[in-house]
Structure formats: C-alpha cells, structure tokens
C-alpha cells in the first residue's frame, strides 16, 4: 500500500513563526538603545518609566 506523507507543519505555520521571531527580535534590538535615545532627547529623569510603558 502506498503511504500518504502529510506535512505536520505547513507554509503558513512557518511564516507565522518567522514573523513572530522577527517581531520579538525587533523589540530586543530597540530596548537596549532606548535609554540613550531618551537621554539625547533631554528626558534623563524619565529613563526608568520608559520600561514600564512597554507592554
């Protein structure tokens, strides 16, 4: 008998995983630079509050 090979994960699932990874990676690239950016804008006293405002 011929066995049917079905894919467990499809293309849409792979694209979903890739887009989620890139979304979370973008936050991990922005967050370390945020305190320096806030300092350059003149808001050094608000550095601690910047992390509380992020979801």
Q: What is the dihedral of CA 11, 55, 32, 20, to 10 degrees?
A: 0
Which pLDDT score is estimated for 30? Answer: 86
Residues in the chain: 55
Which pLDDT score is estimated for 53? Answer: 60
Residue 9 gets which letter from DSSP?
S
Nearest residue to 54 (alpha-carbon basis) of 38, 44, 19: 38
How does pLDDT run along the chain (55 residues), one tens digit per residue?
567 778 888 999 999 999 999 999 998 898 888 888 888 988 888 777 666 665 5
Which pLDDT score is estimated for 31? Answer: 83
Which residues, 6 or more positions from 47, have their beta carbon under 8 angstroms from its beta carbon?
35, 38, 39
* Total-model pTM: 0.60
């Amino acid at each position: 008998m011929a066995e049917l090979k079905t894919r467990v994960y499809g293309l849409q699932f792979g694209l979903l995983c890739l887009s989620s990874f890139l979304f979370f990676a973008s936050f991990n690239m922005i967050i370390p630079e945020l305190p320096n950016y806030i300092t350059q804008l003149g808001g050094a006293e608000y550095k601690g509050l910047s992390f509380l405002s992020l979801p």
